[in-house]
Amino acid sequence: MDTQSLARQLRVKRSEMMIAELEAVALRLFERRGFAEVTVEDIASEARISARTFYRYLPTKEDVLQLRIDRRTEALRVALSARPAEEPPLHSLRIAIEQVVSTEDTELLGRWIAVIAASPTLLRSVVGGIHLKSHQMMAEFFGSRLALPSNALVPRVLAASAGGVIQAAQTYWFLNGGDLATTISESLEILEQGVGTSGGRPRRHDEPGGPVPRRVDRTSQY
């Protein structure tokens, strides 16, 4: 390994460690004092750095709440890429997300959820981040497995459904405790069994076993 490559890896590692520290400090302050009452200067002071250094790593304090979404999305992308191609996609997702969540710091996740729950104004940016990052990544995965564009209806519906199940499972865990990875896995298993193991592609009405088209009496609509 050449010297420049090693130096670059060390810089990346230091950056990751600093971002993780800033996230932990910020979430602790947000939970204790409320998101609106905490400034970048407060976070920097608690982390024993300057505000200028904080801005080298994060544009705003709101971006702290996007770190978890980014981290899980990337980890899940890697885990899904390692699943066998012949495996039903919903089953692959269930196994992959269980692997990813089992390595997460659930104490920090609990703080993250608590901060968002206590600050309704954050919901739009957080939910938007989940849809643009996590749901988009899952739609791309489902699309690749089903030989469909990621923006086709089926991959989008499956991604949104799986994402909703994951969020519901996290909320249940936050309120009731238990093992988060197991809770999410069991919740996704409900979706998997409901859709079936065919990969989630619904049969068309002209396929064997497909739904019978509903005849509409349009005159009754007026």
What was the pLDDT predicted at 84?
A: 97
Neighbours of 103 (CB within 10 A): 9
Specify the CATH class of 64-200 in words: mainly alpha
What was the pLDDT predicted at 12?
A: 84
Q: Is the pLDDT of residue 199 over 50?
A: no
* Domain ranges within the chain, ordered by starting residue: 8-59, 64-200
Q: Taking Cα atoms as reference points, which of 101, 119, 99, 111 lies closest to residue 23?
A: 111
Band the pLDDT of 2: cuts 50, 70, 90.
Answer: confident
CB contact at 8 A, 125 and 62: yes
CB contact at 8 A, 143 and 155: yes
What was the pLDDT predicted at 196?
A: 54
Residues 6 or more apart whose Cβ sits within 8 Å of residue 212: 205
What was the pLDDT predicted at 205?
A: 38
Neighbours of 97 (CB within 10 A): 25
Q: Indicate the DSSP class of residue 215.
A: P
CB contact at 8 A, 44 and 50: yes
What was the pLDDT predicted at 194?
A: 83
Rounded distance between C-alpha atoms, residue 88 and residue 38, angstroms: 45
Please check whether the domain covering 8-59 is classified as CATH 1.10.10.60: yes
Tell me which residue has tokens 């920090």: 108
Band the pLDDT of 171: cuts 50, 70, 90.
Answer: very high
Averaged pLDDT for residues 68-79? 97
What was the pLDDT predicted at 10?
A: 82
Rounded distance between C-alpha atoms, residue 145 and residue 137, angstroms: 13
What was the pLDDT predicted at 107?
A: 95
Three-state DSSP class for 88?
coil
Band the pLDDT of 147: cuts 50, 70, 90.
Answer: very high
What was the pLDDT predicted at 222?
A: 32
Rounded distance between C-alpha atoms, residue 185 and residue 191, angstroms: 10
Q: Is the pLDDT of residue 45 over 60?
A: yes
Rounded distance between C-alpha atoms, residue 146 and residue 29, angstroms: 44
Band the pLDDT of 8: cuts 50, 70, 90.
Answer: confident
Three-state DSSP class for 96?
helix
